[in-house]
Amino acid sequence: MHANSTNETVMSPSGTAATSADRKPPAVLARMLSLHDFEAAARARLPRPIFGYIAGAAEDNASRDDNREVFDEYAFVTRVLRDVSRRTQAVELFGARYASPFGIAPMGIAALSVYRGDLVLARAARDAGVPAIMSATSLIPMEDVVSECPGTWFQAYLPGDQARIDALVDRVRRAGFQVLVVTVDIPVSANRENNVRSGFSTPLRPSLRLAWDGMLRPRWLVETLLRTWARHGMPHFENSFATRGAPIVSSSVMRDFSARDNLGWEHMSAIRRRWPGPLVIKGLIGVDDARMAKRIGADGVILSNHGGRQLDGAASPMRTLERVVQALGPAYPVMIDGGFRRGSDVLKALALGARMAFVGRPFNYAAAVAGESGVRHAIGLLRAEIDRNMAMLGVDRCEALGPDALIRKA
């Protein structure tokens, strides 16, 4: 049964049966024909500061834009007259079988885009049989998410001392997460001028601009902000440490997110000794760092420039992917994120050796536009593109893709 079949049933990694049973989708989704379409729709639905936080990157957005442009440098070499009638896009990773070779990247403060945003993303991923990575900078306790969606991965930003690191790792383990992702590319806070220009700040400060934007977008104001306050009180950063973090409006927020410039590989080695499950290091770009991650015992890496949100001018991970895979060997799980919008983007990464691609902003936009239905629709669009493209490439499984399926444009 193909991935784009109407009523396909798949098993999520947690063993939950998921069906694409007919449900009447929100009318707006009829206009969402690709992941690109969600961005403009989300811009219209979110207050400018919230949208600006999601869409923006560091300084001149050069790395963010290069993450998209790099895909145009590759063209496919198709194979014809191949029997692809039994094609599947399922992949295996860390002992779990996923229905597609993509997942939902970690995105901070998703609960400001849509009510209970982290749960919205995790539920949609669970039902579709793909992985979702919960961000440490979330506003919902990790325990709430993993209890409902056991296949979710957790992504940590590490505090600056070993005792607090150990306590956080222990909390993640007690919560029941199986895969721990440690993001390592934030020794200091980035220069995000886009946030200032759009009116977003950390801590989040009430302002006339935010109030006015909220009044202009009453659906967001009522269904997301006021509903959150009424049911859960003031949002806090729930998962940065072993204990509850600061309120999102607290002046101590930046202090909690600082003091990371002393982290080193010895901290990763200590986590490896303490964490019993799959350990993934995210935020690498170069071969040397990837080799070091493998050497200290990480079970996989996610090549990433943080969506262009840290060092502006950092290379797109697609530019180093093939070299990293060659250095680490084809059996070692190399994953990637940054700029993925089309099924063809995912397949290009797989052809260069990636085991899985993670997609961030479009799923956040989809959640803002139509909640869980929007994320399910976005997953379905990407899955259908992959299915069609695999057929036209002449491959019946993801593992059949290799560098010979691509050429670099002159």
- Tell how strand 279-284 and strand 300-303 pair up: parallel
pLDDT at 227 over 70: yes
**Number of domains the chain is built from:** 1
399 occurs within a structural domain:
yes
Tell me if 267 is assigned to a ligand binding site: no
pLDDT at 253 over 80: no
Residue 2 annotated in active site: no
3-state secondary structure 24-66: CCCHHHHHCCCCCHHHHHHHHHCCHHHHHHHHCCCCCCHHHHH
Q: What angle do CA 197, 158, 48 make, to 5 degrees?
A: 20
Tell me if 115 is assigned to a ligand binding site: no
Which ranges of 275-309 would DSSP assign to H, the alpha helix?
287-295
Domain of 155, CATH number, reads 3.20.20.70
Tell me if 86 is assigned to a ligand binding site: no
Structural domain of 103: 32-408
Query: 201: pLDDT confidence band, cut at 50, 70 and 90?
Result: confident
207 occurs within a structural domain:
yes
76 occurs within a structural domain:
yes
Query: Per-residue pLDDT tens for 342-376?
Result: 999 999 999 999 999 999 999 999 999 999 999 99
Which among 236, 267, 306, 377 is annotated as catalytic? 306
Using alpha carbons, list the distances in angstroms from residue 165 to 98, 242, 244, 292: 30, 8, 14, 20
Q: What is the mean pLDDT of residues 183-200?
A: 90
Contact 386, 62 (CB under 8 A): no
The amino acid sitting at 377 is H
Tell me if 236 is assigned to a ligand binding site: no
pLDDT at 22 over 60: no
Tell me if 135 is assigned to a ligand binding site: yes
20 occurs within a structural domain:
no
272 occurs within a structural domain:
yes
Tell me the pTM. Answer: 0.92
Nearest C-alpha neighbor of 34 from the set 342, 320, 335, 347: 342
14 occurs within a structural domain:
no
pLDDT for res 259: 66
Query: 19: pLDDT confidence band, cut at 50, 70 and 90?
Result: very low
Tell me if 36 is assigned to a ligand binding site: no
8 occurs within a structural domain:
no
25 occurs within a structural domain:
no
Spatial neighbors of 314 by CB under 8 A, at least 6 apart, are 63, 285, 305, 308
Contact 59, 311 (CB under 8 A): no
